Structure formats: structure tokens, C-alpha cells
């Protein structure tokens, strides 16, 4: 089987080239070197690493308890994918806002990643992890050689839609906190916020389900 370049190897495995270099440093893989010092990888060896017995974590999240049915749907999709790939996996489910970092499942995920217990992380969408700050978790995954698999990458929203969606999520969380205070004045403000978010959402084609 022909040897391949580091960029080709990284693309096949869905990891960064730095991840391959770390695997080499740890002795996990051993690429050949050309006379000029360039790495050449054996595809069979790489696929053997890819199909190891490391743990895959499926992470599913929705914002509120009424969306629990969607949470189970996410979990079922992730489970079916991992079973098809013959991966050993565990599913972590969270109910909480995408801008709330203090979630039990997310905390467990970070703990597993930073103690080298995770081989890969699988998500249905990038924003299921966090609305803001997902890049921090992805950076941890890169640091600890955890592959990230996002099943639905085909939807590419515009920067304007992303910004509006983030703002609407903040308004939604703010409204929920106001509702908890239960004053007549707050109820009037909540009603106005609801009308505003609905109007903005329709303008930019954003549904309540997309903010889960």
C-alpha cells in the first residue's frame, strides 16, 4: 500500500496535522521519513489507529425540558451512527441553554477529555455543544487528540443569521429569568420581548427550534 503525505493522512482521519505529530511523539504511530525528512504514513496503520477501542462520546443538548423529545431524537441519531461505525460509545445528554457553561453533562465531557478517556466526540450540530465558546472545547479536543465528528455540516448560515441567533438566545434566557421573578411589570416586558424575538426570527428565517 502506498505511503501518503501528512495532509492527506489528516484529511482521511478528520484530525489536524498536529494531532498526527502528537501521536508520533507518544509512540502511537511511526511514520517513515524521506531523505529530506518528510513524513510518509502507512494508510493501513492509520486505519488501525482510527478503529481502536477508545471511547466515543455522543453529546446531545436541548435548551428546555419541553424539548426533551428532540433530545431523545438527537441521542438516537448519534447512537445509530456510532453503531454503524462499530464504535464503543457513551451518550451524554444535557438540558440547558447553549450559553450556559454550568451543565452537568458538559462538565462530565470536559473531565473525560482532560483525563485522556475519550477517543472521539460526536455531535449532530456544532451548536449542540455551546452557542458561544464551542471553540474552547474543540481546542481541548485538539490538545488531547480527540477527534471531533459533526454529522450535519451541510447547513451554512450567514454571519448575520449567526449573530441574530445568538442575540435571540440571550433574550430567551433573559426572559426566562424575568419570568421567574413573577411581577406584573416583568410579565409585560416578557410579552414585548416575545413579540420582538418572533418578529426578528421571521425576518431572518430563524425558528424557535433552531435556537434549541
Mean pLDDT throughout 161-190?
57
On whether both 60 and 27 belong to a single domain, the answer is: no
On whether both 141 and 60 belong to a single domain, the answer is: yes
Of all residues in the chain, what percent carry a pLDDT higher than 70?
67
On whether both 62 and 137 belong to a single domain, the answer is: yes
On whether both 15 and 66 belong to a single domain, the answer is: no
Confidence of residue 164 (pLDDT cuts 50, 70, 90): low
On whether both 63 and 126 belong to a single domain, the answer is: yes
Could you tell me the CATH number of the domain that includes residue 113? 3.40.50.1390
Q: Give residue-wise pLDDT tens across range 54-102.
A: 789 999 998 888 888 999 999 999 999 888 877 889 999 999 877 778 8
Question: Is 145 in contact with 120 (CB distance < 8 Å)?
Answer: no
Mean pLDDT throughout 184-205?
60
pLDDT of residue 48: 62
Of the residues 126, 150, 174, the one at which a domain ends: 150
- Please give the mean pLDDT across all residues of the chain: 77
Three cell numbers written together for 198 = 418572533
Q: Give residue-wise pLDDT tens across range 6-16.
A: 988 888 776 77
Instruction: Using alpha carbons only, give the angle 59, 62, 68 rounded to the nearest 5 degrees.
Output: 105
Expressed as residue numbers, the domain containing 40 is: 3-50
How many structural domains does the chain have? Answer: 3
On whether both 187 and 139 belong to a single domain, the answer is: no
pLDDT of residue 36: 86
Is 79 noted as a catalytic residue in this protein? Answer: no
Question: Is 66 in contact with 34 (CB distance < 8 Å)?
Answer: no
pLDDT of residue 47: 66
Residues 6+ apart with CB under 8 A from 38: 5
On whether both 86 and 38 belong to a single domain, the answer is: no
If you average pLDDT over each of 33-47, 89-103, 142-156, which comes out highest? 89-103
On whether both 72 and 146 belong to a single domain, the answer is: yes
Measured CA distances, 212 to 8, 96, 99, 139, 166 (Å):
36, 9, 11, 23, 11
For residue 129, pLDDT over 80 is answered with: yes
Supply the angle between the helices 6-13 and 17-26 in degrees, to the nearest 10: 100
Beta-bridge partner residues of 57: 90, 121
On whether both 88 and 42 belong to a single domain, the answer is: no
On whether both 32 and 76 belong to a single domain, the answer is: no
On whether both 125 and 66 belong to a single domain, the answer is: yes
pLDDT of residue 194: 64
- Greater confidence, 55 or 175? 55
Is the CA virtual torsion 145, 150, 155, 158 positive or negative? negative
On whether both 107 and 170 belong to a single domain, the answer is: no
> Of 26, 53, 63, 107, which is the active-site residue?
63
Confidence of residue 192 (pLDDT cuts 50, 70, 90): low
Could you tell me the CATH number of the domain that includes residue 39? 1.10.1660.10
Amino acid at each position: 500500500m502506498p505511503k501518503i503525505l501528512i495532509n492527506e493522512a489528516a484529511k482521511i482521519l478528520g484530525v489536524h496535522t498536529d494531532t498526527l505529530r502528537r501521536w508520533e511523539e507518544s509512540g502511537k504511530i511511526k511514520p517513515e521519513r524521506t531523505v529530506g525528512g518528510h513524513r510518509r504514513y502507512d494508510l493501513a496503520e492509520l486505519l488501525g489507529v482510527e478503529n481502536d477501542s477508545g471511547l466515543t462520546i455522543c453529546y446531545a443538548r436541548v435548551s428546555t425540558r419541553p424539548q426533551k423529545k428532540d433530545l431523545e431524537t438527537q441521542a438516537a441519531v448519534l447512537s445509530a451512527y456510532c453503531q454503524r461505525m462499530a464504535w464503543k460509545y457513551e451518550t451524554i445528554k444535557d438540558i440547558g441553554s447553549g450559553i450556559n457553561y454550568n451543565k452537568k453533562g458538559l462538565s462530565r465531557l470536559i473531565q473525560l477529555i482532560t483525563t485522556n478517556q475519550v477517543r472521539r466526540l460526536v455531535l449532530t450540530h456544532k451548536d449542540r455543544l455551546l452557542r458561544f465558546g464551542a471553540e474552547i472545547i474543540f481546542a481541548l479536543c485538539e490538545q488531547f487528540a480527540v477527534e471531533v465528528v459533526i454529522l450535519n455540516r451541510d447547513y451554512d448560515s450567514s454571519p448575520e443569521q449567526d449573530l441574530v441567533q445568538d442575540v435571540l438566545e440571550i433574550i430567551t434566557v433573559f426572559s426566562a429569568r424575568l419570568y421567574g421573578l413573577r411581577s406584573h411589570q416583568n410579565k409585560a416586558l416578557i410579552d414585548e420581548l416575545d413579540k420582538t424575538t418572533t418578529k426578528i426570527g421571521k425576518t431572518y428565517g430563524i425558528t424557535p427550534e433552531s435556537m434549541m
